[in-house]
Amino acid sequence: MKIVTYNVNGLRPRIQQYGSLKKLLDSLDADIICFQETKLSKHDLRADLVRAEGYESFFSCTRTNDRGRSGGYSGVATFCRVKSAFLSNEVALPIYAEEGFTGLLATSKGYEPRKEESPSIAEGLECFSRDELLKIDSEGRCLITDHGHFVLFNLYGPRAVQDDSERIQFKLTFYKLLERRWECLLLQGRRIIIVGDLNIAPAAIDRCDAEPDFEKNGFRRWFRSLLVQNGGRLLDVFRAKHPDRNGAYTCWSQSTGAEEFNFGSRIDHILSAGSCLHDEENQEGHDFVTCHVAECDILMQFQRWKPGNTPRGCVNHKISTSTFHRWKGGRSIKLEGSDHVPVYTSLVEIPEVMQHSTPSLSTRYHPQVCGSQQTLVSMFTRRQTTEQVISEESESPQIPSHEEFISTPEKYDSRASHSMMIGSQRNTNILPGIEAKKKARHSQGSQLTLNSFFQKRTHRSETCSSRFTGSKLCQTDISYSQIEPNGVPSADDESGASIENTQKECQLDACDTDKEKRKVALQEWQRIHQLMQNSVPLCKGHQEPCVPRVVKKAGPNLGRRFYVCARAEGPSSNPEANCGYFKWAAVLKSKGKGK
């Protein structure tokens, strides 16, 4: 049995890259695939993005717009490769699935509705307020699936930069609560496997440029304190298998071209806790990893940068897009793929589990997915699925109760849970008549609703105007080399819209009256571009043209331009890597024009 974790940096672009969701999933060749940063919002969940033949899938999307994000950001998805979603003994098919980890997200229960009206707080978290818990669980950062022999956490840990105290607090609370949740499961004797992008490189060996006090950071200390060798209960499965491997990174900053010199960090993890499945009286020398983990490694073949991407001998060449193919401080050479690579583990001697059916959280039962008529293919798939559901349901599966359930349900009835799932969302019947038409119209992904169209437009014009007035330029970290002729801005690591998304929005906009305005703005931009290109300095280390950047950090220099060495970031010992050259740009006369 193989489990893969992969921060896809946008599920939509990855699907485009592979041609279809099924091809993407098949390329990972795993029984359980955990994606992070799907960047899909709830209304994005269409059949072609969430359903693939041979897989059951579970999604958690962000539910908050607190942080000025447009549409989806963050988000996790778990795909389970199964032969049957009904009356199956397969370990990959979850017995239970839960969105979030606080127990409060209503759609998470795969069983009959409980007697209480509202969902109840997960064990171990009762001392926290509902508001606090909901806030922590509202960003689509966790899916829990119970596979009988183990409970699997698919996590996307919050990212917090050093001086963002609010996000640091959020990250602290997130992990504090999460730890309580899995502690509770361990106390119940459950085995747990935690996978995902935790946004924490635990030790100096896991980071390219680790400074002497790297390991003193609170999150890193906390991470290491969880590990068995430090008195905790978790095993870092990758490190258990490769204790001394250096340069084993899973993520590279995409704004510095760091992949070229493997200047990265290991923040995507597979952790496990609990005993092995052997029935030995003496458990000495037995643990889950020793007895069941055959291998754990990083799938480097998914890395975007390949040696051919950066031909040498370009030194002293003038910047010209046709001949200069090196990564050049921008994203003008778009490397296809995620800035992360997948990590996998293969498990052995995991016996089948008792017969069960897929939990109602499966996208199979998602009304929007069932109701969407996106493509002819998905329409037929849907019909097939529906027929299957009906025929399977008529057999009325009898699921025996299981002592290892996270919260022991009395009886599982797929129809009951289905209706519960539906009941938990407004405007979701089984979609007859007018309701169905309404729903279909609403959920057609390619045809935006009027409402969302206007929302997107508003957001779009904001971005565009701010970019061209120059005053808010910093927000999107745009330097001129990152602007493509059609005005596509670059997207930051955690920013809401992917480049692809933005492109789509731009195309949308192209057909309205803003077009002319934008054309004028673009011309103005190109004029500034030209002005700047004439004054691009050469870097000290390589005597090559620099790239311009803009200060995006709040402070006295906000919005100010500067130049840096165009080469990719790498170890300072490597003369081929970025030489660290920096120079402020002269203030442009045209600054402020067009405001």
State in angstroms the smallest separation of the CB of 567 from Zn ion: 5
E strands, 380-439, in order: none
Query: Which residues from 74-113 bind Zn ion, rule CB under 5 A?
Result: none
Q: Which is nearer to Zn ion, 39 or 549 (CB)?
A: 549
Binding residue count for Zn ion, defined by CB under 5 A: 9
State in angstroms the smallest separation of the CB of 545 from Zn ion: 10
State in angstroms the smallest separation of the CB of 202 from Zn ion: 26
The answer to whether the beta carbons of residues 30 and 3 sit under 8 Å apart is yes
Q: Which is nearer to Zn ion, 525 or 581 (CB)?
A: 581
Cα 339 to chain centroid distance, Å, stands at 11
Q: Pattern 550-569, binding to Zn ion, x per CB under 5 A?
A: ---------------x----
Structure token digits, residue 553: 């950090």
Residue 316 backbone zone (phi > 0: left; psi -120 to 50: alpha; other: beta) = left
Binding Zn ion (rule: CB under 5 A), the pick from 207, 439, 542, 561 is 542
Neighbours of 355 (CB within 10 A): 15
State in angstroms the smallest separation of the CB of 533 from Zn ion: 18
Binding Zn ion (rule: CB under 5 A), the pick from 24, 40, 271, 276 is 276
Distance set, CA 450 to CA 58, 61, 363, 435 (Å): 28, 22, 25, 18
CA dist 191 and 346 (Å) reads 16
State in angstroms the smallest separation of the CB of 540 from Zn ion: 7
Q: Which stretch binds Zn ion (CB under 5 A): 180-188, 268-276, 310-318, 408-416?
A: 268-276
317 binds Zn ion (CB under 5 A): no
Q: Which is nearer to Zn ion, 281 or 395 (CB)?
A: 281
Query: Which entry of 147, 340, 356, 366 is annotated as an active-site residue?
Result: 340
Q: Pattern 379-418, binding to Zn ion, x per CB under 5 A?
A: ----------------------------------------
The answer to whether the beta carbons of residues 137 and 121 sit under 8 Å apart is no
E strands, 307-417, in order: 343-347
State in angstroms the smallest separation of the CB of 330 from Zn ion: 15
Q: Which stretch binds Zn ion (CB under 5 A): 171-179, 284-292, 413-421, 501-509?
A: 284-292
Q: Which stretch binds Zn ion (CB under 5 A): 11-19, 83-91, 556-564, 578-586?
A: 578-586
579 binds Zn ion (CB under 5 A): yes
Q: Which residue carries 């071209």 as its tokens?
A: 257
3-state secondary structure 159-207: CCCCCCHHHHHHHHHHHHHHHHHHHHHHHCCCCEEEEEECCCCCCHHHE
22 binds Zn ion (CB under 5 A): no
Q: Which stretch binds Zn ion (CB under 5 A): 38-46, 157-165, 278-286, 530-538?
A: 278-286
The answer to whether the beta carbons of residues 102 and 136 sit under 8 Å apart is yes
583 binds Zn ion (CB under 5 A): no
- Encoded amino acid at 268, one letter: D
Q: Which is nearer to Zn ion, 226 or 579 (CB)?
A: 579
The answer to whether the beta carbons of residues 506 and 486 sit under 8 Å apart is yes
Q: Which is nearer to Zn ion, 541 or 594 (CB)?
A: 541
Q: Which stretch binds Zn ion (CB under 5 A): 41-49, 235-243, 486-494, 532-540?
A: 532-540
3-state secondary structure 458-483: HHHHHHHHHHHHCCCHHHHCCCHHHC
State in angstroms the smallest separation of the CB of 410 from Zn ion: 33
CA dist 584 and 359 (Å) reads 57
Q: Which stretch binds Zn ion (CB under 5 A): 38-46, 58-66, 83-91, 280-288?
A: 280-288
Sign of CA dihedral 327, 328, 332, 338: positive
Binding Zn ion (rule: CB under 5 A), the pick from 232, 445, 541, 594 is 541
Q: Which stretch binds Zn ion (CB under 5 A): 204-212, 276-284, 555-563, 569-577?
A: 276-284
Q: Which is nearer to Zn ion, 541 or 559 (CB)?
A: 541
Q: Which is nearer to Zn ion, 276 or 497 (CB)?
A: 276
Residue 357 backbone zone (phi > 0: left; psi -120 to 50: alpha; other: beta) = beta
Q: Which residue carries 């059916």 as its tokens?
A: 357
Q: Which is nearer to Zn ion, 459 or 542 (CB)?
A: 542
CA dist 386 and 384 (Å) reads 5
Residue 393 phi/psi, 5° resolution?
A: -65, -30
| Catalytic residue status for 418 | no
Helix (H, G, I), strand (E, B) or coil at 403: coil
Q: Which is nearer to Zn ion, 205 or 291 (CB)?
A: 291
431 binds Zn ion (CB under 5 A): no
Q: Could you tell me whether strands 235-236 and 268-273 are parallel, antiparallel, or unpaired per DSSP bridges?
A: antiparallel
Helix (H, G, I), strand (E, B) or coil at 22: helix
State in angstroms the smallest separation of the CB of 51 from Zn ion: 37
Binding Zn ion (rule: CB under 5 A), the pick from 242, 286, 402, 591 is 286
Distance set, CA 343 to CA 140, 204, 288, 386 (Å): 21, 19, 18, 34
Binding Zn ion (rule: CB under 5 A), the pick from 221, 278, 441, 517 is 278
Structure token digits, residue 56: 């059951």
291 binds Zn ion (CB under 5 A): yes
Q: Which residue carries 């192209």 as its tokens?
A: 510
Give the count of alpha carbons within 13 A of 158, CB side only. 25
Neighbours of 463 (CB within 10 A): 21
Q: Which is nearer to Zn ion, 4 or 539 (CB)?
A: 539
| Overall residue count recorded for the chain in this entry | 595
State in angstroms the smallest separation of the CB of 389 from Zn ion: 39
Q: Which is nearer to Zn ion, 157 or 570 (CB)?
A: 570
149 binds Zn ion (CB under 5 A): no
Residue 401 backbone zone (phi > 0: left; psi -120 to 50: alpha; other: beta) = beta
- List residues with catalytic annotation: 340
Q: Which residues bind Zn ion (CB under 5 A)?
A: 276, 278, 286, 291, 539, 541-542, 565, 579
